[in-house]
Amino acid sequence: GDKAFAQFLTDEIKEEKKIQKHKSLPKVSGGWELEVHGTEAKLLKKIAGEKITVTFNINNSIPPSDDVDTQEEQKPDEQEPELTSTPNFVVEVIKDDTKQTLVLDCHYPEDEIGHEGEEESDIFTIREVSFQPTGESDWKDTNYTLNTDSLDWALYDHLMDFLADRGVDNTFADELIELSTALEHQEYIKFLEDLKSFVKCQ
Residue 86 burial (C-beta neighbours within 10 Å; 0-12, 13-18, 19+): buried
Count of Cβ atoms closer than 10 Å to residue 185 Cβ: 20
Give residue-wise pLDDT tens across range 125-136: 999 999 988 776
> SS3 for 120?
coil
C-alpha 127: how far from chain center: 15
Give residue-wise pLDDT tens across range 179-194: 999 999 999 999 999 9
Average pLDDT, the chain: 86
Look at residue 154 and tell me if it is in a domain.
Answer: yes
- In this predicted structure, the answer to whether residue 197 has a pLDDT above a threshold of 60 is yes
Name the domain count of the chain.
Answer: 1
Count of Cβ atoms closer than 10 Å to residue 75 Cβ: 6
Look at residue 66 and tell me if it is in a domain.
Answer: no
| Residue 139 pLDDT | 65
Look at residue 191 and tell me if it is in a domain.
Answer: yes
Give residue-wise pLDDT tens across range 83-92: 899 999 999 9
- In this predicted structure, the answer to whether residue 111 has a pLDDT above a threshold of 80 is no
| Residue 96 pLDDT | 83
- In this predicted structure, the answer to whether residue 69 has a pLDDT above a threshold of 50 is no
- What average pLDDT does this structure show over 66-90? 65
| Residue 165 pLDDT | 95
Look at residue 73 and tell me if it is in a domain.
Answer: no
Full domain range(s) for residue 149: 1-59+83-110+120-200
Look at residue 190 and tell me if it is in a domain.
Answer: yes
| Residue 100 pLDDT | 85
Q: What is the maximum span of the chain, computed from C-alpha positions, in angstroms?
A: 63
| Residue 9 pLDDT | 95
DSSP type of residue 83 = P
Res. 70 pLDDT band, cuts 50 70 90: very low
Look at residue 100 and tell me if it is in a domain.
Answer: yes
In order of 90, 105, 106, 115, the CA distances from 43 in angstroms are 10, 15, 14, 26
Look at residue 68 and tell me if it is in a domain.
Answer: no
CATH number at residue 125: 3.10.280.10
- Asked whether 184 and 62 are in contact (CB, 8 A), the reply is yes
- What average pLDDT does this structure show over 29-52? 94
- What average pLDDT does this structure show over 36-63? 94
| Residue 76 pLDDT | 46
Look at residue 97 and tell me if it is in a domain.
Answer: yes
> SS3 for 76?
coil
d(CA 134, CA 50): 12
Give residue-wise pLDDT tens across range 141-159: 778 888 999 889 999 999 9
